[in-house]
């Protein structure tokens, strides 16, 4: 992934990561069952990246234009700090997050991929996108993942932020030292320290 020194400098300031869903956490596909239920597929590497970011002090939020019980379940499972559904205009939710968490624009990273994301992406300090995003989303992004939405892009961007903040090597070292189940539980517990 190519990046500039400006992207590296801005990543150091990130205190909150806001995510879009369709096309970012998923590949943008929606499967519809016989009874009208919707199905989406999420990438486990993205999930681990979100969990690591949280354990290392980065707050997380989701602002999505659609509503989904499955997404609500996934957000709870990942312990997302703030969750907004059915928000075609994402700016009011973004402003709420800034106020609630006492953040400035430069403290926030946003990963989006399409037109609904542009208004927030142009405000945050660290706008990022996925490889298969619209040209408009790419044009306002400071970092573009090598991966498509739902295919590990979120994880790659989170790793970039954690590396810029000099937190990634401690994560790697913790996982390299796992010998047994007790060690694995200890790594999960201590990763936030």
pLDDT digits (tens, 9 = 90+) for 99-122: 999 999 999 999 999 999 999 999
Per-residue pLDDT of the chain (193 residues; tens, 9 = 90+): 889 999 999 999 999 999 999 999 999 877 787 777 677 889 999 999 999 999 999 999 999 998 888 899 999 999 999 999 999 999 999 999 999 999 999 999 999 999 999 999 999 999 999 999 999 999 999 999 999 999 999 999 999 999 999 999 988 988 887 777 766 667 666 554 3
Q: Which residues pair with 63 in a beta bridge?
A: 84
Helix (H) or strand (E) holding 100: helix 91-101
Burial of 169 (0-12, 13-18, 19+ CB in 10 A): exposed
In the chain the first and final C-alpha atoms are separated, in Å, by 28
Closest listed residue to residue 127, CA positions, set 17, 47, 21, 2: 17
Domains (range + CATH), the chain: 5-166 (3.40.50.1000)
Contacts of 102 (CB under 8 A, 6+ apart): none
> β-pairing, 38-39 with 31-32?
antiparallel
Closest listed residue to residue 121, CA positions, set 131, 132, 136: 136
What pTM value is reported for the model? Answer: 0.91
Closest listed residue to residue 100, CA positions, set 61, 44, 136: 61
Q: Is 138 within 8 Å of 156 (Cβ atoms)?
A: no
């Amino acid at each position: 992934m190519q990046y500039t020194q400006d992207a590296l400098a801005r990543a150091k300031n990130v205190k909150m990561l806001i995510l879009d869903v369709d096309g970012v956490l998923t590949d943008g596909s929606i499967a519809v069952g016989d009874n009208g239920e919707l199905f989406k597929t999420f990438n486990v590497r993205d999930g681990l990246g979100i969990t690591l970011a949280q354990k290392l002090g980065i707050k997380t939020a989701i602002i999505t234009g659609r509503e989904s019980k499955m997404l609500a379940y996934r957000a709870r499972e990942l312990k997302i700090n703030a969750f907004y559904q059915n928000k075609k205009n994402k700016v009011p939710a973004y402003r709420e997050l800034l106020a609630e968490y006492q953040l400035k624009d430069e403290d926030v990273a946003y990963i989006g991929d399409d037109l609904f994301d542009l208004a927030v992406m142009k405000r945050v300090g660290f706008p990022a996108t996925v490889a298969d995003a619209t040209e408009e989303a790419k044009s306002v992004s400071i970092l573009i993942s090598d991966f498509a939405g739902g295919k590990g892009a979120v994880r790659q961007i989170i790793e970039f932020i954690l590396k810029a903040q000099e937190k990634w090597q401690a994560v790697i070292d913790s996982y390299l030292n796992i010998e047994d189940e007790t060690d694995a539980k200890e790594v999960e517990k201590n990763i936030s320290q």
